[in-house]
Amino acid sequence: MAAIPELPRSVAAIAAQHLEREIIEGRLNPGARLAEEEWAEKFGISRGSFREVLRILETARLVEIIPRRGAHVALLNRRDVEEIYILRKHLFELAYIYGTANMTDEHLKVFRAIVADMERVAARGDVVEFSALSQKFDDMVLDVADIMRLRMVVEFLGKQTIRYRYVGFKIPGRIERSLAAHRVILDAFAARDGERAGAVVYEMIEWAGKSILASVFGDKAEEQEVEPDGRTRRRDRRET
> pLDDT tens digits for the chain (240 residues)?
444 444 345 788 888 889 999 999 889 999 999 999 999 998 888 888 999 999 999 999 999 998 888 999 999 999 999 999 999 999 999 999 999 999 999 999 999 999 999 999 999 999 999 999 999 999 999 999 999 999 999 999 888 899 999 999 999 999 999 999 999 999 999 999 999 999 999 999 999 999 999 999 885 545 544 443 334 444 444 443
How many beta carbons lie within 10 A of that of residue 205, not counting itself? 24
Q: Are residues 63 and 97 in the same domain?
A: no
8 A C-beta contact, residue 137 and residue 96: no
Q: Are residues 64 and 82 in the same domain?
A: no
Phi, psi torsion values for 88, nearest 5 degrees: -60, -40
pTM for the full predicted model: 0.82
Q: Are residues 20 and 97 in the same domain?
A: no
Q: Are residues 135 and 205 in the same domain?
A: yes
Q: Are residues 49 and 126 in the same domain?
A: no
Q: Are residues 33 and 125 in the same domain?
A: no
Range of the domain at 33: 11-74
Final residue of a structural domain among 28, 50, 74:
74
8 A C-beta contact, residue 18 and residue 43: yes
Q: Are residues 104 and 195 in the same domain?
A: yes
Q: Where are the alpha helices (DSSP H) in 25-104?
A: 36-43, 47-59, 78-101
d(Cα 124, Cα 211) in Å, to the nearest integer? 22
Query: What b/e readout covers 185-195, taking b as 16+ CB neighbours within 10 angstroms?
Result: bbebbeeebbe
